Amino acid sequence: MLHMDTRRREFLESLLTTPGPSGYEADSQRVWLDYVSEFADEVRTDDYGNAVAKVEGGDTTVALAGHGDEIGFIVRDFTDDGFVKLGRIGGSDKTVSRGQHVTIHTADGPVSGVVGQTAIHLRDSDDDSVPEISEQHVDVGAVDGDEVESLVDRGDPVTFVQTLSELENGRLAARGMDNRIGIWAAAEGLRRAAESDADATVYAVSTVQEEVGVQGAKMVGFDLAPDVAIAADVTHATDAPGSPGKAATGVELGEGPVVARGSANHPVAVDALRETSDAEDIDIQLQATGIRTGTDADAFYTSRGGIPSVNVGLPNRYMHTPVEVIDPDDLDALADLLAGFAVRAAEQAPFSVDV
């Protein structure tokens, strides 16, 4: 079933190697737009950079959405001796940042740096505490405050230096799987739905600023007001050592995309996804989300008068670290699931709870 030919793989790698922290997504959004422009009937962006691609079909409207932003850091301040002080963009993890290579993205181009870590020989052996991001610093090699301020500005975004590795069994490790896989799947779902002549008008969407409060989805949901929206995002694979039992979901890498149930997830749309998986012979997993999904689905489903929405997740190990791990077979199946759902959406509509 693997459809990830050279062009699809190049697209995924381009997304993963193009930085796009929340609020600074333009470069990665451009990569996405260039790809969907090859087959969409229309592409557009709004004032904040949300990107939408459209394939014209029937009266039923379907939005296949991922969020294009990633977590990161931001230049908060400088020290007199030439170091950069950091703030967080989204849910950056203080336990994995020290000792990492980073890039500061300035108006004049990238500036290389490292997040300092006091040598083990010099640290208090009785103190295992991890300093907050606000207490950590980036060393760009500057000799004093004047030099560092001539190189970078407050508000410049910061990302880990990207490393994309192929592990055994074709599995991939990189930063930013959350959520470049979602916008890859949305674009591919649109392309595959178009090839199947879906009897619906299908949108693929790459939203901005999900990691800082699902903000872009609020804008797009109001603007498009589709009949149904699928938010493609990562979800925790809890099959690796160290996952606490109380957080176990049963989700495993390589076992297929994950359809969420509960809270935002519309039961009729959930049933339609399950029927699609059966009809297309696509293995899926189920996940309980009794309070919130933590994804763009939470914004879509309360937009306007309420948009039937579902979160479909891709199993991901080590979320919000520079070494997120996914299985490309899961990702390819996710694109097939989105396309199959779009093809059948007109038959399933209207998406309404029977009371």
The two structure tokens encoding residue 80:
């007199």
Of 16, 50, 317, which Cα lies nearest the Cα of 210? 50
The three-state secondary structure class of 190 is: helix
137 has which bridge partners? 85
Give the C-alpha separation, 337 to 334, whole Å: 5
Cβ(179)–Cβ(316) below 8 Å: no
Cβ(53)–Cβ(65) below 8 Å: no
Cβ(248)–Cβ(326) below 8 Å: no
Of 182, 218, 206, 221, which Cα lies nearest the Cα of 45? 206
210: phi > 0 → left, psi -120 to 50 → alpha, else beta; which?
Answer: alpha
Give the C-alpha separation, 347 to 293, whole Å: 26
Give the C-alpha separation, 210 to 223, whole Å: 16
Output the known binding site.
67, 178, 211, 233, 320
Give the helix ranges, DSSP H, for the chain: 6-16, 26-36, 145-151, 177-195, 215-224, 267-280, 297-300, 328-348
Q: What angle is formed at CA 48 by the lines to CA 43 and CA 54, rounded to 5 degrees? A: 20
Cβ(181)–Cβ(331) below 8 Å: yes
Sign, Cα dihedral of 170, 171, 176, 182:
positive
280 a catalytic residue = no
Residue 175: Cβ within 10 Å count: 26
Q: What angle is formed at CA 240 by the lines to CA 164 and CA 90, rounded to 5 degrees? A: 60
Output the known binding site for Zn(2+).
67, 178, 211, 233, 320
Catalytic residue among 25, 70, 188, 210: 210
Q: Which residues are catalytic?
A: 210
